[in-house]
Amino acid sequence: MNELILARVMHVLGVVLWIGGVAMVTLVLLPMLARMSSAAEAMEIFARFRRRFAAQARIATLIVGLSGFYMVYALDVWQRFLQWQYWWMHTMVLIWLVFSVMLFVMEPRARRQAVAPVQQNITPEIFVKIQRKHMILLILGLITIAGAVAGSHGWLIPSN
């Protein structure tokens, strides 16, 4: 049972680093970049930040995925994916899949295909669009976290 406790600890720490990072990017970095006078300079800063942050996010999503699937396996709760009461488990997997595809497929591909590190036709609106997408993912992540914490303590789950 100690492995299960370790998996929970790793899962929570991974989520804190991952979704906390998404919150910082969404609520602090992107608004700051959108207000910069030079959109090209802002994009250069964003590109440098993203390279460093992507490494942390990849590690965190790996930890979250491995620990999450281990807990489902160890507790043998696969049937919960067939029950609406455990909706947060569905959204956990969905959000994890979306971020994993972004971090492990789309982001590296975009980096390889980029001709120049900074595109010349960058406008401040690009950061508003990026922030909107991040905000949707952040809100979904926070709703999922709230649902998981409440649900794991029996809230909204009918008694048997």
Residue 96: name the closest of 18, 12, 8 by CA. Answer: 18
SS3 142: helix
| pLDDT classification of 40: cutoffs 50, 70, 90 | confident
153 against 27, higher pLDDT: 27
pLDDT computed for residue 126 by the predictor: 84
**Mean of pLDDT values over 22-49:** 91
pLDDT computed for residue 51 by the predictor: 84
153 against 119, higher pLDDT: 153
pLDDT at 45 over 60: yes
| pLDDT classification of 8: cutoffs 50, 70, 90 | very high
pLDDT computed for residue 155 by the predictor: 83
Helix runs in 25-124, H state only:
30-34, 39-75, 87-101, 107-113
Give me the residue label for tokens 């595109």: 119
Span 89-131, pLDDT tens digits = 999 999 999 999 999 998 888 777 765 555 556 777 888 888 9
Element (H, E) at 17: helix 2-24
pLDDT at 68 over 90: yes
